[in-house]
Structure 1
Amino acid sequence: MRKWVAGACLLYVLYGLFFYWYLFMAGDSSVPEALKGTSADPATFMNERELMLTEDYSKIKDFLFFIRIPFEWFLFFILLIAGLSQKMKHWAEHTSKRRVIQIAAYVFGLFLIVTAASLPLDWISYRFSLDYGISTQTTASWIKDQVIDFWISFPLTAGAVIVFYWLMKRHEKRWWLYAWCLTVPVTLFLFFLQPVVIDPLYNDFYPLKNKKLEHDILKLADQADIPANHVYEVNMSEKTNALNAYVTGIGANKRIVLWDTTLNKLDEPEILFIMAHEMGHYVMKHVYIGLAGYLLLSLAGLYAVDRLYKWIISRHGRELHIKGGTDLAALPLLLLLIGVLTFAASPFSNAVSRHQEKAADQYAIELTENKKAAVATFQELSKAGLSEANPPLLVKIFKYGHPTIMERIQSVENALDQ
């Protein structure tokens, strides 16, 4: 056990050192010579202080992102190899004779451990965003969001685990397929509920107050043949200085949402460009395509989890203190595999997302025909969020669901020069 723990610790430290070296020493985020002095060059729209803050904050933020991802995997492995997961299972079995309550108790204990262990990293990330002027959120509000996250994630995860273990027991060979069949309606249902049930737990949403701007946005929507009666704004200025807008929900609960920071910091032509971008997602049905892609990817993922899960238990079950596939103590292994495969698939899903975002940008350019507003919007997005215009390659591959600011500005210039 000591060798396994020591090896896991060493691997995690080497992983962290690699990304520290890559982000702070080797990663290239410089502006290509051909773009220096153009509208895509941050030096043309940021002052020296903004450039320095952007570089420093981006490196810290990206480093925390990369070391946070495998931290839970490391924690799950330690729980398994040290036999702590088995002890947690025995404790859960003493809480009730009912299997459902035992699983819920185990998941609750596991969530408490993961939340407590991850809290320092999450707190450091919050404090850095506060120190660099990105976050405006009070400590009390931040804690409230952490509590909401816990009480949303815990029942959903507990319900999923209860169903998954029941399926494993009843259908050992095909549990992953039946589990996927159940995730389809559940995912659609949650996506339908998110705008009206989940999102309002974190922030206040209300119809756009600026009626003239709403009229202009709805007029733009009419040009795009989009049925729309309302645009919503959300009071994100209580939590951040960053800018954003998005489309969420499906069916009758579909919403176009503007952060109030976007309304406060951008001019109307720039806001209309952002709205045209979101309308592009609607017209090209990116929400539904994204949902379909997620569901297909989750089918392949569950199959891969099943194969790896059974292979690891057959080869290393004794070392990991796992008695079989339906052993509740094996849950950390299941979650570890899901996390690793999700991260491994992120370059593909991010690439698809960047393609959709680029298409939505192109649609917005064609709809508004306002090059100046498009360029100014991307520049303001970069300044408000202290986002690097040209991040290092690994950051882009694993983290960016949007094209980089430099790529987006270049696309505007190229589209309108043709």
Structure 2
Amino acid sequence: MIFDLLTVSGSAFDVDAATRAYLDTLQGPAKDKSDAYFEGGYYLLVFGTLVAVLIDWLILRFRFAKALRDFGERIFKRPFGATWLTALLYLLVSGVMALPWSIYTDFWREKHFGLLDQSFGDWAFEQALGAVIGLAIFPLLIALVYSIIRRAPKTWWVAGTAVTGVFLFIGTMLAPVFISPLFNTYSEMEHGPLRDRLVSMAAQFDVPADNIYVFDQSKQDKRISANVSGFGPTIRISLNDNLLERTSEEEIVAVMGHELGHYVMNHGAWRVGSMLTVLGLGLFLISRLGPWLIARYGERWGVRDIADPASLPVLTLILSLYLLLATPAFNNITRLQENQADAFGLMAAQEPDGFARAAMRLSEYRKLEPGALEEFLFYTHPSGKSRVRRSMQWKADNVPNAAIDVPPEGYLDQ
């Protein structure tokens, strides 16, 4: 990709001017569309929670939870089996009830903004496949947590958090090998100068690079991405085909430098630990609020106590509201790590303009210039403006005789 170089007035590289030169490449309808899509997500976050709460309330109000529990207890005499079946049926029923909302948010809206390339049939198949995987995992986790509740009704949230952590760790380790390939085709990256450069960069930081895969994200959408996933023997570097086909070598190397930063700084384990801390607080609140709600309304709902699997909608209702309130905490934990990986990636790849261009491409679905409070509350990653400015500051500090690179008009459409 060829870029025009502007001569910088004076001897100093103007970080603000260089940043603005990038930001101004997104203008007019394209910027309005980006802002509208991302800002709409703020409302979806609230309304999505209200939909989840409404579904749980309806399941309780019309005693569906009791009916599911009674059916589970008729099929299984042991509490573990009855809880597992109750949880399975609850997830099925609530999933079907939420289907119109899912179609609107995950299919129709994505199509409306031009961010989804799948037909409805292909999208529905992947949603069904994801649901099957979830039904194979979550009822078992729920049954284990209820076993703990029966044994320790006051302190179950401690062991419940630990069990959830075990599931998260196993899932993170196994997903790259057994789950991700169910949705996309993974193949070894072709040998050549680009792969050699990525392998060399990974080797500098002792990141295993025996397996570098390319997966066909383009079957779903045009978004660029890459990751270093897995633990131990399942560690692998993966790039999606959009990254390879839509961007320059400088962008690819910059993105991979960022992803290597996550691995080197052990962000996977830290993220699981941080998220479990926030989740543990949520389970603690459930352990206190759940019995109070059941004592007040349990007879009306047909729920005996918190150890009764029919209480599952009560627990998930509280959890949904808590997670909405905890969203800024989750977002800031993630954004802190993304900031750290950005700084590492600039140092590792030494491609500040490549990183700035890659950050600009994310404006397809992420508002480029949010306010400070907006970024604090809603952003899981640094904003495009923050990332471009960091890149230009790194360039000013590390590149002799730096000049402002202005991408050609229309490069974001590639």
The normalised TM-score by structure 1 is 0.84
| 2:375 matches 1:396 | yes
2:368 partner amino acid: A
Q: In the alignment, does 2:240 pair up with 1:259?
A: yes
Answer yes or no: is 1:79 the counterpart of 2:59: yes
2:376 is aligned with 1:405: no
Deviates more, 1:300-309 or 1:283-292: 300-309
Taking the aligned partners of 1:183 and 1:348, their CA distance within structure 2 comes to: 19
* Cross-structure match for 2:47: 67
Instruction: Work out whether 1:378 is the aligned partner of 2:359.
Output: yes
Once the two structures are superposed, residues 379-414 of structure 1 have per-residue CA deviations (whole angstroms, 9 ceiling, x without a partner) of 1222xx332102366753444211111111111222
CA distance in 2, matches of 1:398, 1:80: 32
Q: Which residues of structure 1 form unaligned runs of 5+?
A: 1-33
Decide whether the 8 Å contact of 1:234 with 1:260 is kept in 2. Answer: yes
Superposition map of 1:208-223 within 5 A? 208-209=189-190, 211-223=192-204
Question: How many angstroms apart in 2 are the aligned matches of 1:100 and 1:366?
Answer: 52
Per-residue Cα deviation, 1:12-33 (whole angstroms, up to 9, x for no partner): xxxxxxxxxxxxxxxxxxxxxx
- In the alignment, is the contact (CA less than 8 A) between 2:49 and 2:321 conserved in 1? no
Residue 194 in structure 1 maps to residue 175 in structure 2: yes
Give the Cα separation in 1 of the matches to 2:22 and 2:157.
48
Q: Does 2:155 match 1:154?
A: no
Q: Which of the numbers 78, 83, 102 marks the counterpart of 2:82? A: 102
Deviation string 1:305-358 (CA, Å, 9 cap, x unpaired) is 212222322344344442212222211011122222233222112112111111
Q: 1:78 to 1:185 in 2, by over 3 A?
A: same
Match of 1:270 in 2: 251
Residue deviations 1:120-148 (CA, integer Å, cap 9, x gap) = 12212212212322111122221111111
Give the 3 Å change call, closer, same or farther, for CA 61–168 of structure 1 in structure 2: closer
Mapped pair 1:184 → 2:165: yes
Q: Which amino acid aligns with 1:66?
A: V
- Relative distance call for 1:64 and 1:185 in structure 2 (3 A) is closer
1:249 pairs with one of 230, 237, 241? 230
Return the alpha-carbon distance in structure 1 between the equivalents of residues 196 and 343 of structure 2: 23
Q: Give per-residue Cα distances to partners, 1:269-296, cap 9 Å, x unaligned.
A: 1100001111111121111211222333
Within the candidate set 154, 159, 164, 2:145 is matched to 164
Q: Which amino acid aligns with 2:170?
A: F
Matches within 5 A, 1:330-369: 330-369=311-350
* Structure 1 residue 193, shift from structure 2 partner: 0.6
TM-superposed CA distance for 1:149, in Å, is 1.7
- Displacement of 1:35 in angstroms is 10
Query: What is the rounded CA distance, in whole Å, between the counterparts of 1:148 and 1:335 in structure 2?
Result: 23
Tell me the number of residue pairs that the alignment of Structure 1 and Structure 2 aligns: 383
CA distance in 1, matches of 2:357, 2:268: 26
> Aligned partners of 2:17, 2:49: CA distance in 1, in Å?
37
CA–CA separation in structure 2 for the residues paired with 1:49 and 1:251 = 46
Secondary structure, aligned partner of 1:256: strand
Give the letter for the 1:112 counterpart. Answer: L
Contact 1:204 1:234 in 2 (8 A): yes
Distance 2:304 2:21 in 1: 58
- In the alignment, is the contact (CA less than 8 A) between 2:198 and 2:256 conserved in 1? yes
Residue 20 (structure 1) aligns with: none
TM-score by length of 2: 0.84
Amino acid across the alignment from 1:290:
R
When residues 36 and 130 of structure 1 are mapped into structure 2, their CA distance, relative to the original with a 3 A threshold, is farther
The RMSD of aligned alpha carbons is 2.5
CA distance in structure 2 between the partners assigned to 1:123 and 1:244 by the alignment: 24
Amino acid at match of 1:77: W
Partner of 1:11: none
Q: Report 1 or 2 for greater relative contact order, CA contacts < 8 Å, sequence distance ≥ 6.
A: 2
Partner residue of 2:19?
39
Question: Which residue identity lines up with residue 220 of structure 2 in the other structure?
Answer: K
CA displacement, residues 98-157 of structure 1 (integer Å, 9 cap, x when unaligned): 444433332233222222222112212212212322111122221111111211112322
Aligned AA (1:389): L
* Structure-to-structure mapping, 1:200-239, within 5 angstroms: 200-209=181-190, 211-239=192-220
2:225–2:240: 8 Å Cα contact kept in structure 1?
yes
1:29 aligned partner: none
Alpha-carbon spacing, 1:117–1:272, altered in 2? closer, same or farther (3 Å):
same
Deviations 1:63-111 (A, max 9, x none): 3343123311221122223333223323333444444443333223322
What is the DSSP-based 3-state SS (H/G/I as helix, E as strand, rest coil) of the residue aligned with 2:184?
coil
2:98 alignment partner, SS class:
helix
Counterpart CA distance in 1 for 2:82 and 2:374 is 41
Paired residue secondary structure (1:106): helix
Does 306-315 or 347-356 show the bigger shift?
306-315
Q: What secondary structure does 1:317 align onto? A: helix
Aligned to 2:97: 117
**Contact preservation (8 Å) 1:41, 1:406:** no
* Structure-2 separation of matches of 1:269 and 1:371: 9
Closer/same/farther in 2, CA of residues 184 and 96 from structure 1, 3 Å limit = closer
Asked if structure 1 preserves the Cα contact closer than 8 Å seen for 2:262 and 2:337, the reply is yes
Alignment partner of 2:19: what SS?
Answer: coil
